[in-house]
Amino acid sequence: MTRIDDTPPAWDERSQLTTFLDYTRDTARAKCDGVSAENARKALLPLSPLMTMNGVINHLRWVEYYWFQVVFLGEEDQGPWTEEDPDREMRIAVDFPLTQLLDEYAEQSARYRELVRGNSLDDQAKRARSSGLHVDLRWILLHLTEETARHNGHLDILREMLDGTAGS
């Protein structure tokens, strides 16, 4: 697996936060290196039938969309989920090639890097959380790093079960 370094180019808060988010994003993509289209669609966990390599990557993509565009920018939610099917982004992922999902995730990540560059870490989200709290951009970056890192563990398990590849 080839990943970027987790050492930030500078030691200011913004550099540290964005470096770790990029590191976890890159790690997720690296865990998919060499996975066949067929294997990327396989659900291996009996109690988690939506947990596929495709499903996790598509979920990560849509989670970032939700936090940056819907919560931070206050845009209308155009995500694939519905009240009846809240995990639809994972369900529909099997309909797309993993390479397409990875490319879309990478393109979106580049756009969000620009969004982060253009805003203060103290800027508050336009939309409140269910608690009524308006989180700031700093919190969103931390949350997305945690979310992506957690799902990297899922990708590790799936990859090892699929073809015996153990990641770092």
Q: Which helix (H) or strand (E) holds 137?
A: helix 137-163
Check if the beta carbon of residue 63 is closer than 8 Å to that of residue 72.
no
User: Domain 17-163 - what CATH class?
Assistant: mainly alpha
Q: Cα(90)–Cα(103) distance, rounded to whole angstroms?
A: 17
Per-residue pLDDT tens digits for 76-100? 999 999 999 999 999 999 999 999 9
pLDDT for 4 equals 63
2: pLDDT strictly greater than 60: no
Q: Cα(47)–Cα(43) distance, rounded to whole angstroms?
A: 10
Q: Cα(87)–Cα(29) distance, rounded to whole angstroms?
A: 21
1: pLDDT strictly greater than 70: no
| Amino acid at site 101 | L
Task: List the domain boundaries for the chain.
Answer: 17-163
Per-residue pLDDT tens digits for 149-164? 999 999 999 999 999 9
